[in-house]
Structure 1
Amino acid sequence: MNARIGDNSAAERNKRPIFDALVEHLADARHVLEVGAGDATHARHALERLRDCIWQTSEAPGHYRRLVAALADRPEPRLPRPLSLDVRGQWPAGPFDAVFGANVAHIMDWAAVEALFAGAARVLRRDGRLCLYGPFLRRGEQPEPGNAAFDSALRDRDPAMGLREIEALDGLGEPLGLIRVADIAMPRDNRLLIWQQRGR
Structure 2
Amino acid sequence: MSDKPYSAASERNREPILAVLREWFADRRQVLEIGSGTGQHAVHFAAAMPQLVWQCSDRAGNLPGMRLWLDEAALPNTPLPFEFDVTGAWPAHRYDAIFSANTLHIMAWPEVERLFAGLPAITSADAAVAVYGPFNVDGHFTSESNAAFDRDLKMRGAHMGIRDVAAVDAVAAAAGFNLSEDVAMPANNRLRLWRRRRA
TM over 0.5: yes
Q: With the length of structure 1 as denominator, give the TM-score of the two structures.
A: 0.91
Given the alignment of the two structures, is residue 9 of structure 1 paired with residue 8 of structure 2, yes or no? yes
Q: Classify the secondary structure of the residue corresponding to 2:104.
A: coil
- Structure 1, gaps ≥5 residues long: 1-5
Counterpart in 1 of 2:91? 92
From the superposition, tell whether residues 15 and 142 of structure 1 become closer, same or farther in structure 2 (CA, over 3 Å): closer
Letter in 1 for 2:188: D
**RMSD over equivalenced CA pairs, Å:** 1.6
Counterpart in 1 of 2:68? 69
Report how far residue 140 of structure 1 moved: 4.3
Report how far residue 87 of structure 1 moved: 1.2
Report how far residue 178 of structure 1 moved: 0.8
Report how far residue 155 of structure 1 moved: 0.8
Alignment of 1:12-161 (within 5 A): 12-161=11-160
Report how far residue 68 of structure 1 moved: 2.2
- Is the 8 Å Cα contact of residues 59 and 67 (structure 1) preserved in structure 2? no
Q: Cα deviation per residue 1:94-120 (whole Å; 9 max; x = unaligned)?
A: 211111001011111112111211222
Counterpart in 2 of 1:187? 186
Query: Sequence identity of aligned pairs in percent?
Result: 39
Structure number with the bigger relative contact order (C-alpha 8 A, sep ≥ 6) is 1
Report how far residue 199 of structure 1 moved: 5.0
Report how far residue 152 of structure 1 moved: 1.0
- Structure 2, gaps ≥5 residues long: none
Report how far residue 142 of structure 1 moved: 4.4
- Is the 8 Å Cα contact of residues 40 and 71 (structure 1) preserved in structure 2? yes
Report how far residue 121 of structure 1 moved: 2.6
Q: Cα deviation per residue 1:111-138 (whole Å; 9 max; x = unaligned)?
A: 2111211222321111211110011101
